[in-house]
Structure 1
């Protein structure tokens, strides 16, 4: 096994410990680099190769970033290695199902721009998702030159984001300048996997190019709303020149939190701490008697926007958690029904 080659694309000792003894005997290690519906692009010791999605998914549902043990002959997966992190959301729309975003991400660059896109509540949402997934979040503020309001200069915006969570790392840069993008290389290198997450037009593809992943399509900023057009259309894994890989995600128009209570409480640990002073343990923080959270909002200790977003995200993830559980139960019941129908069909054929 070419460990050096695999390390360049994010391989770690925790994955090597999962390898079966017969790797090398017609079996090879590969990483999911992209998923094109009917085909999956695999990156491994021998470089890129395409495999039919049906064969690659023989060991389970795949996300970009997954590590697989596949047959050297046709790319059939015989094992999906245990994921260290998994980034996913509730699927957009009314469908109650999880949508995988990326697996085995070490660092998540949450990208927002210093213009009309800047939104603290959205950043809190992304932070909760990253923490729940197990990835380290780093907020990257781009397009500092487009911040027209002197009261909201990049330094001020950075301080606002830093206050969202103790120890949160925030970097402000011009994504078009590779020299400025170098501040992010601390999280890049052999054995490391980073991903970009943010709305369309915030400069994710430009930032990816500044980190050296190659020429990605970008689009100009629209004058009417200061947003760029959607450019990246599929999640893809790119090699970085210094080692390690980067996952460039499409701009997310709707990001509904799945079961994410730990992530939400971690982002809002100040609210959780205040809530410990509520008179009743089951306080809903919506006007209940003796609510310490409401008292903190009224006194100015807790920001009204932050309080409202905490309640919103907590309720959203609780609702989606219930619907996802219900969907899984429906799928199990449907599976049992189909099996019973097939069993009855086989019995009738045998009787005739």
Structure 2
């Protein structure tokens, strides 16, 4: 029978419990993926941690996923996900790369030094909003900057509903400052570029000693050794998922997330005189009027256009790739089937 108290420490919620039938309740073992490696997964049942080979059944699993095992630790199935983060793979690869799953809150880290970028924050917000999670922007390295409140206001102006915190990742009192989110059964993911303080924040909240390297003066970036995704249990009862710094975050399949992130622009566009308004030089364009009266910055509108085009291109490209791969798979199966029939005829 399930030990709910132990599972709760891993972020177990009623969403997953409702997916179990009576037999599974008594004869199966739910586990959560806490580490992901090239050829194996590390999973935790609450009472034990062990490794699973990366078979076809779990090949698409990521840190945060819940699996249902039998008593021999064979995988019966993967639980339906509550949320899912993915991006287009970095570089020229035409494929989607999973980041994490089953997250409730996303801490989007951006340092107050040269890394600070409203455009990049909006990019991450589109990803988080698409996943249906609560975004919290963490402006880090407050101990090295004197304009934290000014930049906090800039980020807050993106949305009155957005929570923004200015933090020093080394501060041991952060547990109190971030208590609104560090609640039992809450799963939190850390997102951000390399060197913004994710590992340091993880160390502080979990009171662990993951290796970090001091900030480099010449480019204001820190260096750390996070090379994979992993899940940590916190004393508060929440769980924390750390991820490697992303040098590139290409958006794909985040149309709803973009609409939510730039909701005021979507509303303005619907008020334009012409349905097919390009928002450039048409008369009575609500967006251009907003830019002129200062209620919408040109920077924000241009970034909206850029991210929207990027999302449309990547979404279409990946859809074509998936259709092509599906067609190839069907062809291979047909050829194999014909080969088997031909062999039988020869016999």
TM range (shorter): over 0.9
Q: Give the deviation of 1:290 after TM superposition.
A: 4.0
Q: Which of 201, 204, 211 is the equivalent residue of 1:210?
A: 204
Partner residue in 2 for 1:29: 30
Partners of 1:213 and 1:241 within 8 A in 2? no
Q: Distance in 2 between matches of 1:101 and 1:213?
A: 24
SS of equivalent residue, structure 2 residue 216: coil
Q: Distance in 1 between matches of 2:333 and 2:163?
A: 51
Partner residue in 2 for 1:48: 49
Partner residue in 1 for 2:69: 70
Q: Give the deviation of 1:79 after TM superposition.
A: 1.2
Q: Which of 112, 115, 119 is the equivalent residue of 2:113?
A: 115
1:81-117, Cα deviation, whole Å (9 max, x unpaired)? 1111101111112222211101000000001111111
Partners of 1:296 and 1:302 within 8 A in 2? yes
Q: Which of 73, 78, 95 is the equivalent residue of 1:97?
A: 95
TM-score computed with the length of structure 1 as normaliser: 0.94
Partner residue in 2 for 1:238: 232
Partner residue in 2 for 1:255: 249
Q: Distance in 1 between matches of 2:111 and 2:187?
A: 23
SS of equivalent residue, structure 2 residue 127: helix
1:333 aligns to 2:334 (yes or no): no
Q: Distance in 1 between matches of 2:14 and 2:231?
A: 20
Partner residue in 1 for 2:134: 136
Partners of 1:182 and 1:211 within 8 A in 2? no
Q: Give the deviation of 1:308 after TM superposition.
A: 0.8
1:215-242, Cα deviation, whole Å (9 max, x unpaired)? 1121111111101124211010111112
Partner residue in 1 for 2:9: 8
Partner residue in 2 for 1:305: 299
Spell out the pairing of 1:160-175 with structure 2 (5 A cutoff): 160-175=154-169
Spell out the pairing of 1:262-281 with structure 2 (5 A cutoff): 262-281=256-275
Q: Distance in 1 between matches of 2:25 and 2:313?
A: 46
Q: Distance in 1 between matches of 2:276 and 2:254?
A: 19
Q: Distance in 2 between matches of 1:60 and 1:116?
A: 38
Report how many aligned residue pairs link the two structures: 345
Q: Give the deviation of 1:305 after TM superposition.
A: 0.8
Q: Distance in 1 between matches of 2:328 and 2:22?
A: 37
Q: Which of 176, 183, 193 is the equivalent residue of 2:187?
A: 193
In structure 2, relative to structure 1, the CA distance for the partners of 1:286 and 1:77 (3 Å cut) is farther
Partners of 1:230 and 1:250 within 8 A in 2? no
Q: Give the deviation of 1:208 after TM superposition.
A: 0.9
Of residues 63-72 and 279-288 in structure 1, the stretch that sits farther from structure 2 once superposed is 279-288
Of residues 260-269 and 126-135 in structure 1, the stretch that sits farther from structure 2 once superposed is 260-269
Q: Distance in 2 between matches of 1:288 and 1:231?
A: 52
Q: Distance in 2 between matches of 1:288 and 1:326?
A: 34
Q: Give the deviation of 1:3 after TM superposition.
A: 0.3
Q: Give the deviation of 1:23 after TM superposition.
A: 2.1
Q: Give the deviation of 1:45 after TM superposition.
A: 3.5
Partners of 1:206 and 1:218 within 8 A in 2? yes
TM-score computed with the length of structure 2 as normaliser: 0.95
Q: Give the deviation of 1:181 after TM superposition.
A: 4.2
- CA-atom RMSD in angstroms: 1.6
SS of equivalent residue, structure 2 residue 274: coil
Q: Distance in 2 between matches of 1:213 and 1:58?
A: 35
Q: Distance in 2 between matches of 1:346 and 1:90?
A: 38
Q: Give the deviation of 1:284 after TM superposition.
A: 2.8
SS of equivalent residue, structure 1 residue 219: strand
Partners of 1:201 and 1:251 within 8 A in 2? yes
Partner residue in 2 for 1:82: 80
Q: Distance in 2 between matches of 1:313 and 1:203?
A: 26
Q: Distance in 2 between matches of 1:71 and 1:288?
A: 64
1:253-274, Cα deviation, whole Å (9 max, x unpaired)? 0001111111111111121122
Partners of 1:239 and 1:246 within 8 A in 2? yes
Of residues 86-95 and 7-16 in structure 1, the stretch that sits farther from structure 2 once superposed is 86-95
